[in-house]
Structures are given as C-alpha cells and as structure tokens.
Amino acid sequence: MLTRRAALMGAAGAVSLPIFARAAKAEEALTPAAAPADLSKLKRIRRELVAPPFVHEHEQVAPGEPRIVEFEMTIVEKEIQVDDGAYLQGMTFNGSIPGPMMVVHQDDYVELTLINPPQNMLQHNIDFHAATGALGGGALTLVNPGEKTVLRFKATRPGTFVYHCAPGGPMIPWHVVAGMVGSIMVLPRDGLKDHEGRRVSYDRVYYIGENEFYIPKDEAGVYKRYGDVGESYLDTLEVMNGLVPSHVVFNGKVGALTGDNALKAAVGEKVLFVHSQGNRDSRPHLIGGHGDLVWEAGKFNNVPDRDLETWFIRGGSAGAALYEFLQPGVYAYVNHNLIEAVNLGATAHVVVAGDWNNDLMEQVVAPTEMTGI
C-alpha cells in the first residue's frame, strides 16, 4: 500500500491547467499596493539558531542602530521518542521541540526564512506573538511541502514571546501540541532593568520550552505508534479534546534536561530562565532557589516581580526569571503542579558548582535515630 506521502506525490503530477481556459474580461482592476518599507540603509546580521535549551550568540545591550536580523528555520516532521515506549509523530521548527529561541532588540527587524521541505506531508506557517498584523504573520507564511517564504516584522515590543504554527482550523492546536512552538526574546535596546530601573545582565540564558503531548493508547493501554504524522491525527484529536495530556515535558521529552543533559551554572552566576508554554498554563518553580526578578508575563516594559517562589506562565506566552545562584548543588526546575513534574515529566535539573554557604543553610543535626525520647 502506498504511503500517504507517495499518494500525494503521485496525485500532484496529474493536475494541469486545461488549455481551453481563457482569461475573463478585465473585471477586476489591480490597484497598487502600499510601497514596500525602505530598509536599505539598515545593517543586516545573520544569526544561526541553536537547539534549546541553548540560545544563539547575542548582545544584551544593542550595539547601535536597529538592524535587520536574519534567521532561517526548516520545518521537520519526524517521529520523536518522548519517553520509554512513547513516540510522538512530531512537527518541529528546525528539528527541535521546542523550536529555537531567537533574540533581537526592540526596533530591530526580524527577517525569517521559513522552509517546508518536500519530504514533509503538511502545510505549516508561523504566528509570532511579537509581531503586529496578519495573524502574527500566519496569514502570509503558509507554506506547502517544497515551498519557502520570507517574513519580516518589526520587533516593537520588548519581552519574551511565543511563536507557533497556526495553519488554519483544527490544524492549529494539533500542530502546536505536536511540537510547533518556540519563542523569541526582544531585549530592550539598553538591556534588562531591575525594579528600580538599574541595568541587570545575565551570565547564562536557558530556554525551557514546556510542551504537553496527547499520545493515544490502544485497548491494552499501550501507547500507539503511527507510520506518519497524518496517520496519527484522528486518534490524537480524540485524546487532545479530552484535555488530559499523556506527557508534560521540558525540551521535548521526559528527562531531556536531566542527568548528562542537566543545565549547568555556578555559584555567583546570574541565570535567565525563559519559559514558554504554547497551549496550557504552567507554574515554574526552582526547588531550593527563587526568582530574583521575574517578568511573569515576559514583557520587559513592566517592573519585574521580586523574590518569587513560583511564577505563572499563561498558556500561549513566555515569561522570564533571573536568578543568581547562591548555593552549589542540584536544583530541580519544575512545573509546580507536581503531578505534571514528577509523573508526567516536567522536571529539569540545574547542576551548580561552587562553595557551600553555611550562613544561608546549615545542617545542624543530620537525620538520626530518635533515641532517648
């Protein structure tokens, strides 16, 4: 039996414009469009995206006038193992779940080349929450397999924002929960500022994209596996509509940011954690640490909250939290719905090197047997 992909390719060759078509009368006059924006004097810089949790090289303070920042992303449809015995027919921006984080400065122009290679089966596009108009660019970027498009938008608002695929109708939630979501950080031109307007910087930035998956099970309760992404749709839709995820994960799979892949930091380092969730609410918490400065909604024109224990990420947004590590050891960065953290997967680890501070915490009596009580 032919795969859907082969059937599609076969069908594609059979269609052509009949020769007896002739142009209708000129009933619809073409009017001129608005003149394209003249950005010829702006400098261009090309950024190579890297897979999360890492973020491409960038300046925290803009080095001069606004620039056109070029990015390129290729959409990859592929099966991804998200846990032992659990496979997702994934759809990805640039091969990773979440898609890579882009960083620009306010008033820069983001120029994205979006590629949908012929090996893919489905149409995709991109909706930037940071952009203004045309459904965040979604209305201008729908690409079939074998097509590419270039979108440019001005990053007018500073903050962390989600981008996601939104190719119309019931495809929208499905593509998002299949992995097509990422984030962009638009930094203020003069960098981040604390609650008193003083400049703050970070030593490291980690992008933690949270995704929830809805993987169907068979009658025996075993996760089903599918030949291709189209084949997984109808079953997945049924699970999705129940709103009960099978997995809630950081960086695309259970354990993606633990063990060998744990995040690294050192005592005295300030780490910016950017956390996105494209579809569902989350509540990040750093076990044993805090959020020194937290832009819960992610938007840097707002005064950051201080000293938070847990912060809220609205579904469809990205937030940012800055924390200076004060103690060495292993920290768990979790979604503090602990069922989701522990049982469904939403846990990352941060391994922090340095010297212990007994003033902050000291073990007075190690757990011992309760004798003589």
Partner 1 sequence: MKTILLVPLLAAVGALGLGAIPDGAPPFAPPQTVTVAAGEVSWRPLGNFSQEGKARTPRRVVLAVPGFEIMKHQVSRDQYSTCVAAGACAAVPAVGGSLPQTQVNWQDATAFAAWYSELTKQAWRLPTEAEWQLAAAERYGDAAADAGARDPGERMLSAYANGVFLRGSAGSAPRPAGGYGENSLGVADMGGNIWEWTDGCMVNGRLAADGTVVQSDPYCGVRIAGGRHRAAVIDFVRDASVGGCAVGLPPDHLGFRLVRDAGAPDRNGPAVW
Residues contributing to the annotated binding site: 124, 129, 164-165, 175, 180, 336
Binding mask 123-162 for Cu ion (x = CB under 5 A): -x--------------------------------------
Establish whether 165 is a catalytic residue.
yes
How many of the other CB atoms lie within 10 Å of CB of 59? Answer: 11
Name the DSSP letter for residue 94: T
Task: Point out the catalytic residue in the list 175, 247, 275, 290.
Answer: 175
Q: Using the rule CB under 5 A, is 175 a contact of Cu ion?
A: yes
> Of 20, 71, 22, whose CA–CA distance to 45 is shortest?
71
Q: Confirm or reject binding of residue 133 to partner 1 (CB under 8 A).
A: yes
Q: Which of 77, 91, 160, 164 is catalytic?
A: 164
- With CB under 5 to 8 Å by kind, the binding choice for 180 among Cu ion, partner 1, none is Cu ion
Query: Which of Cu ion, partner 1, none does 244 bind, CB closer than 5 to 8 A by kind?
Result: none
Dig out the tokens for 240 from the structure: 């999705």
CB of 177 to partner 1, least distance (A): 15
Q: How far is the CB of 156 from partner 1 (least distance, A)?
A: 17
Q: How many Cα atoms are found within 13 Å in the side-chain-facing hemisphere of 103?
A: 21
Strands 109-116 and 102-105, by their bridges, are unpaired
Cα(69)–Cα(39) distance, integer angstroms: 12
Q: How far apart are CA 339 and CA 248, in angstroms?
A: 10
Within 226-255, which residues bind partner 1 (CB under 8 A)? 230-231, 233-234
Query: 3-class DSSP state for residue 8?
Result: helix
103: CB partners within 8 A, 6+ apart: 47, 55, 56, 58, 184, 185, 187
- Per the CB < 8 A criterion, the answer to whether 149 and 112 are in contact is no
Binders in 178-197 for Cu ion, by CB under 5 A: 180
Over its C-alpha atoms, the chain yields an Rg (Å, rounded) of 23
**Between 101 and 122, CB nearer to partner 1:** 122
> Which residues are designated catalytic?
124, 127, 129, 164-165, 175, 180, 285, 309-310, 336
Site residues (vs partner 1, CB under 8 A): 1-4, 7-8, 11-12, 14-24, 26-34, 121-123, 133-135, 139-140, 142, 144-147, 168-172, 230-231, 233-234
Site residues (vs Cu ion, CB under 5 A): 124, 165, 175, 180
